[in-house]
Amino acid sequence: MSVWLPGAPCTPRTCVERTGAAAAVPPAVLSPVGGRIPAPLVRRWCRWIVRAAGVRVRVTGTAAPTGGLLLVANHISWLDIPLLAAVRPARMLAKEEIRGWPVAGPVAARGGVLFIDRDRLRALPGTVARISAALRDGRAVAVFPEGSTWCGRAQGHFRRAVFQAAIDAGVPVQPVRIRYRLAGGAVSTAPAFVGDDSLLASVWRVVSTRGLVAEVEVREAIAPGGHGDRRALARAAQREALPEPSAIHAVLVS
């Protein structure tokens, strides 16, 4: 893997809290879905998948606009994907390795995921062009611009390449802020899918954590043309989507 690729220092051993007694993994979380899911059912289905894992979902903020839209969010867990789809059905941008995942890979491919080969940086302009084409076609595309998952108590910064697609297509950017908490309000790292964690271990940890709440805050959309270049647009979206470190610290010490 290229040393230029984004990465996070978070690992399961150093960042992820231990959970209590394990529960049975809900079959709905691990079972593939045949064919493509009709767009009107995607939002309901995705929320149901998250709830089947024992996670309560709390969505706040503004409604996502219709038409071409770049959805961008901070990245903590595999749960982020159905959570974003619950905001608005969208084509996901995902790393090429997900194609080979059991169950999730075939489902992602059938769901219209746009795959990116992170080891081939020369392929990046082509990926940006494909995203831009989907946006021009009136589709929503969901992206995690940090380029890697973080534990939720630490975070990265937004890479700017994908924002060029929104500029080229002339569509708005919708920042989304994702947090995972326990019922009492404390930040939880149990859903974090980081480092050398396996998907099965992560799913097991989620379903065995009691009182887990996924908070999805949909921020105001950033209108097209409001920022001069992709760097400024990425910074503006990052300010909206990434929680302030001081806010995370306040929850941890309260």
- Hey, what domains does the chain have and what are their CATH numbers? 15-22+38-253 (3.40.1130)
CA 37 to CA 52: how far, in whole Å?
A: 18
pLDDT value at position 26?
A: 46
pLDDT at 53: 86
Are the CB atoms for 76 and 191 separated by under 8 Å? yes
- CA–CA dist 146, 160 (Å, integer): 9
Residues 86, 59: contact at Cβ < 8 Å?
yes
Bridge partners of 114, per DSSP, are 93
Would you state the pLDDT for residue 227? 83
Judged by DSSP in three states, 71 sits in strand
- Give the predicted TM-score (pTM) of the model: 0.79
d(CA 161, CA 220): 21
CA–CA dist 166, 230 (Å, integer): 9
pLDDT of residue 32: 36
Q: Which of 157, 141, 164, 145 is nearest to 233 (CA)?
A: 164
Count of alpha carbons within 13 angstroms of residue 185, beta-carbon side: 8
DSSP-derived secondary structure letter, 123 = G
* Whole-number Cα distances in Å, 58 to 111, 136, 180, 181, 253: 24, 31, 10, 11, 23
pLDDT given for residue 49 in this prediction: 80
Digitized pLDDT (tens) for each residue of the chain, 254 residues in all: 443 355 666 776 666 766 654 444 444 443 334 345 555 566 777 778 888 888 999 999 988 888 999 999 999 998 998 888 888 888 888 776 766 666 556 666 666 777 776 666 676 888 889 899 999 999 999 999 998 888 878 888 899 989 999 999 999 999 999 999 998 889 999 999 888 888 888 888 999 998 999 999 999 999 988 787 999 999 999 999 987 654 444 344 33
CA distance from start to end of the chain:
40
Distance CA 56, CA 21 (A): 19
Confidence (pLDDT) at 251: 40
Contact status, residue 37 vs residue 204, Cβ threshold 8 Å: no
Three-class SS state of 14? helix
Specify the pLDDT at position 124. Answer: 80
* Angle between the N-to-C axes of helices 80-87 and 39-52, in degrees from 0 to 180, rounded to the nearest 10: 140
pLDDT at 136: 95
Kindly report the three-state secondary structure assignment for every residue of 95-111.
EHHHHHCCCHHHHHHHC
